[in-house]
Structure 1
Amino acid sequence: MLSAYVLHSRPYKESSALVDLFTEQGRMRAVLRGARSQKGSQIRPFSLLEIELKGRGELKNIAQHASMGPLLLLQGTTLFCGLYLNELLVRLLALEDPQPIIFQQYQSSLIALANNYPVEPLLRTFEWRLLEQLGYGFSLTHDAQGATIDATLWYALVHDTGFVMQAQLKPGAFKGEDLLALAQAQWQDKRTLIVAKRLMRQALAPLLGTKPLASRELFMGLKDI
């Protein structure tokens, strides 16, 4: 049996559902038969489940499932934030690649959302940890050559490399003092939050590709995450 969260589900054949799960053993894809029955209604996002999967291929079957606790109540802004986290995991995690640190970070992020913690520091922290664990992390205190970030200079983020000092200001560059503030997680500073959002979007863009995030588009009418 595995602990798992539902990331996404969609109808499959007559009465089944194709479900993306985030488990202790990584992201899994499975078929839930009888998904439209009362028992199938327990399979929903943001609820910790105990499941048994059967099958040797990438597409497995959910043999058993049971709730391991109350459904976390996310609504309004927190609901869209939860959907955003789910979509990041579906898009970026390979199947059956264990990610225990990301699993723990996801679980604590959902609990924080349900308890109405400030969402922007929470989202930026999750994005940062996700990048680190997928091998795309970078230093906020040193540039790509190992030199200490200078608060007075400007830097560009280069994918798979890190920050490169700019001889002249270019679009998308970051001020050294802002990167150092980020390194210290100065979330009380509104400017730091704005820079963090811009930085994470730049860092995630090469991994997400050109296909827009559906959760972000849905959220546009409420608030830009």
Structure 2
Amino acid sequence: MQIDQQPAYLLHARPYRETSLMIEAYTRDHGRVGLVARGVRRERSRLPRGLLQPLQPLLLSWFARGELGTLTAAEAAGAPIALGGDALFAAIYVNELVLRLSGRNDAHAEGFASYALCLARLAEEPAAAWTLRRFERDFLADLGYALALTQAADGRPVEAGADYAYDPDSGALAWREGTRWPAVRGAALLALARDEIPAAEQLAQLRRVVRATVRHLLGGELNAWSMAMRPASNEPRG
């Protein structure tokens, strides 16, 4: 089956055989797809090697057969997104999150839109932490793993002034000393639900909540988490 002119971003690419690339692309209508770009590493290739980079909005065409497709065409769908410093590290984290959590050929148009919006915000806004929390909230929800932000595990409404422990399976539990789950203020959960940026300390709490949730879903760590990080008050790198 031939797929033409599909909006996409590259999540990852690695050499394949002597002259090709194996790429993982995140597409609007087909979700994450694995593609082989044959011969693209030759000096003279019909495929534009320079376009096959992360943070470049693309239109991809491929022939799908089995789990891996064959890339047949690629063209730019806009200017590359220029990121540096903390914003670049944040984008690396976002790419790995999408790569690890999304299934191949499982379309999530809203998740794709959230991803594109996240990259645009990272390019425009100096602080990455709030952009990441908003993306994580929307992306997890689109995959069916929505964070419980307004209702506690006991069925009661989350209270802004209460402290909770966030269990990825159950949601917000009344805080108890010695719990293994991250502590979070009710006001932080409600702020994320309302799309209102919380205080820096609460933003850091939300980061720990999301990290615990992702770790629970994956059964392990993300490589991006091992990168050098700034103090927790800013914490822009995922």
Instruction: State if a TM-score over 0.5 links the two structures.
Output: yes
Partner Cα separation in structure 2 for residue 188 and residue 178 of structure 1: 6
Q: 1:41 to 1:219 in 2, by over 3 A?
A: farther
Structure 2 residue aligned with 1:9: 13
What SS does the corresponding residue of 1:84 show, helix, strand or coil?
Answer: helix
Structure 2 residue aligned with 1:49: 58
Structure 1 residue 192: Cα displacement:
1.9
Structure 2 residue aligned with 1:26: 31
Structure 2 residue aligned with 1:169: 177
Query: Contact 1:80 / 1:219 at 8 angstroms: preserved in 2?
Result: no
More divergent stretch after superposition (130-139 vs 30-39): 30-39
- Work out whether 1:143 is the aligned partner of 2:152: yes
Structure 2 residue aligned with 1:87: 96
Q: 1:63 to 1:140 in 2, by over 3 A?
A: same
Partner Cα separation in structure 1 for residue 123 and residue 163 of structure 2: 38
What SS does the corresponding residue of 1:107 show, helix, strand or coil?
Answer: helix
What SS does the corresponding residue of 1:114 show, helix, strand or coil?
Answer: helix
Q: 1:64 to 1:182 in 2, by over 3 A?
A: closer
Q: 1:79 to 1:169 in 2, by over 3 A?
A: same
Normalised TM-score (structure 2): 0.85
Aligned positions of 1:105-144 closer than 5 A: 105-144=114-153
Query: Contact 1:150 / 1:176 at 8 angstroms: preserved in 2?
Result: yes
Q: 1:59 to 1:154 in 2, by over 3 A?
A: same
Partner Cα separation in structure 2 for residue 144 and residue 74 of structure 1: 39
Partner Cα separation in structure 2 for residue 188 and residue 138 of structure 1: 16
More divergent stretch after superposition (105-114 vs 32-41): 32-41
Partner Cα separation in structure 2 for residue 114 and residue 177 of structure 1: 28
Q: 1:170 to 1:101 in 2, by over 3 A?
A: same
Partner Cα separation in structure 1 for residue 129 and residue 187 of structure 2: 20
Structure 1 residue 95: Cα displacement:
0.2
* Partner AA of 1:160 in structure 2: D
Query: Contact 2:134 / 2:195 at 8 angstroms: preserved in 1?
Result: no
More divergent stretch after superposition (155-164 vs 18-27): 155-164
Partner Cα separation in structure 1 for residue 164 and residue 203 of structure 2: 18
Query: Contact 2:160 / 2:185 at 8 angstroms: preserved in 1?
Result: yes
Structure 1 residue aligned with 2:207: 197
Q: 1:140 to 1:3 in 2, by over 3 A?
A: same
Q: Count residues in correspondence.
A: 223
Cα RMSD after superposing both structures: 2.1
* Partner AA of 2:156 in structure 1: A
* Partner AA of 1:46 in structure 2: L
Partner Cα separation in structure 2 for residue 200 and residue 13 of structure 1: 37
Query: Contact 1:49 / 1:68 at 8 angstroms: preserved in 2?
Result: yes
Query: Contact 2:163 / 2:185 at 8 angstroms: preserved in 1?
Result: yes
More divergent stretch after superposition (100-109 vs 69-78): 69-78
Q: 1:71 to 1:179 in 2, by over 3 A?
A: closer
Partner Cα separation in structure 2 for residue 158 and residue 88 of structure 1: 20
Provide runs of 4+ in structure 1 moved above 6 Å: none
Normalised TM-score (structure 1): 0.89
Query: Contact 2:134 / 2:192 at 8 angstroms: preserved in 1?
Result: no
Partner Cα separation in structure 2 for residue 45 and residue 145 of structure 1: 43
Partner Cα separation in structure 2 for residue 219 and residue 87 of structure 1: 16
Q: Equivalent pairs: percent with the same residue? A: 32
